[in-house]
Amino acid sequence: MVEGVKRDGVLVYGLGRSGRGVARFLAREGKQADWTDARPAPEDEALMAELGWTRGDVTQAYSTVVAAPGVPIDHPDLERLRAVGAEVIGEVTLAARARPTLPMVGVTGTAGKGSTTVLIAHLLRACGLNALEGGNIDPPLLDVVDRAEVAVAELSSFQLERVPGLRLPVAVITNLGLDHLDRHGTPAAYHAAKLNITAAQQESDVLVLPADLTVPTRAQVRRFDPARLALADGTSVLSPADLPAGIHPANAAAALLAAEALLVHLGRAADPGLLAAALQSAQPVAGRFETVAQVAGVTFIEDSIATRTLAVQAALDRAHPPVAWLVGGRDKGAELAPLRQAAQGRVTQVIAFGEDGEALARSLGLPYRVVTGEDGEATMRAAVQAGLEALPDGGTVLLAPVGTSFDQFRDYKARGESFRRAAQALAAGQAEA
């Protein structure tokens, strides 16, 4: 045996939001772990010092490595740790193993998974269950498992790379497009990661899918149709036309079937009246196609998280034309042909910003204007102003940027908040005038 081998040791590899959740959970359980992070933030190092944990040595062996989703699953350190006996898991598997009796709904997809996750939890709460959402969406899953009767987890492809043996009584795939090819390499690898959500499901479990998607599974399949908000037996719950603004019918249809399946799993009946009322009281998730300001007949819609082709396409389809479309950030290789088609007859001008904005705009083949600024905040103010100027007779300024935020902003939320501030400043200026 190698000197210093930690056969029962745990290494938390990668901190940040997910790693901090893992650390807090393990500490509550009275467990010690080592940690490592290539670029730990000051708050991460402060937490590790508070817990009394020491920085790990990846040349040693550990029985378990809890790897943050930001760490590529084929990272050389993880490969080496596996080679000497470590099992590499993520926070989702840690939660499922630590709380095996907690019912869990898992939601993934190329677009809509966050909104669907929140909506499922909302429906289950309306039916009397203490359902809490977490995972890829705030907060980390491990922050909610001890407070929830039911956990509803948004699961990214990165999280689903590290879920060995995860069995969910109810799983949802909202759709399967293309995303994160810069990380996964090929569409097949990306889809394979997504399909891990159902890999361990059995015949008594339920998998909710769109009508046009077929995947290998042992679970019972429930197919949703955005034109019909109904239960599994066809009982109509609500007309899609009666959904609140900002609630996508596809997300609502998937959430209904998932909530019903979880209720049945718990031996409860699904009440169509309760579910209809819950749908009508649902609120869109902040930062998902959210109206943030109105100025001179122009609506400003923030959808900063829309970097996936399907998500951007959905935003373009929903935005009231004419549209000034804010495109930019760092190109992540999104498929653009469907976006060119979705924009035809709807987009008056592309407002290009950030590192790859102009290149993306040229590739889209639409009229465009490039804006710049000394930093991200100034650039966003210029983009918002340019969007307003492109719509003298009213319309929609849409931030659905295609590119990631990491050229000028900390993350997509910071970019969305910058857009919100700029649009609301214009609205305030109009009100004063």
Q: Which residues are annotated as a binding site?
A: 109-115
157 vs 109: CA distance, rounded Å: 8
92 close to 111: Cβ distance less than 8 angstroms? no
352 vs 340: CA distance, rounded Å: 15
Q: Which residues are annotated as a binding site for ATP?
A: 109-115
The 3-class secondary structure across the chain, one letter per residue, is: CCCCCEEEEEEEECCHHHHHHHHHHHHHCCCCCEEECCCCCHHHHHHHHHHCCCECCCCCCEEEEEECCCCCCCCHHHHHHHHCCCEEECHHHHHHHHCCCCCEEEEECCCCHHHHHHHHHHHHHHCCCCEEEEECCCCCHHHCCCCCCEEEEECCHHHHCCCCCCCCCEEEECCCCCCCHHHHCCHHHHHHHHHCCCCCCCCCCEEEEECCCCCCCCCEEEEEECCEEECCCCCEEECHHHCCCCCCHHHHHHHHHHHHHHHHHCCCCCCHHHHHHHHHCCCCCCCCCEEEEEECCEEEEECCCCCCHHHHHHHHHHCCCCEEEEEECECCCCCCHHHHHHHCCCEEEEEEECCCHHHHHHHHCCCEEECCCCCHHHHHHHHHHHHHHCCCCCEEEEEEEECECCCCCCCHHHHHHHHHHHHHHHHHHHHHC
Report the relative pairing of strands 236-238 and 229-230 from DSSP bridges. antiparallel
Look at the block and give the residue holding tokens 């590739």: 363
302 vs 397: CA distance, rounded Å: 9
Dig out the tokens for 191 from the structure.
Answer: 């889809």
Q: How many CA atoms lie within 13 A of 222 on its CB side?
A: 26
- Cα–Cα distances (Å) from 22 to 46, 132, 144, 215, 306, in that order, read 15, 17, 12, 31, 28
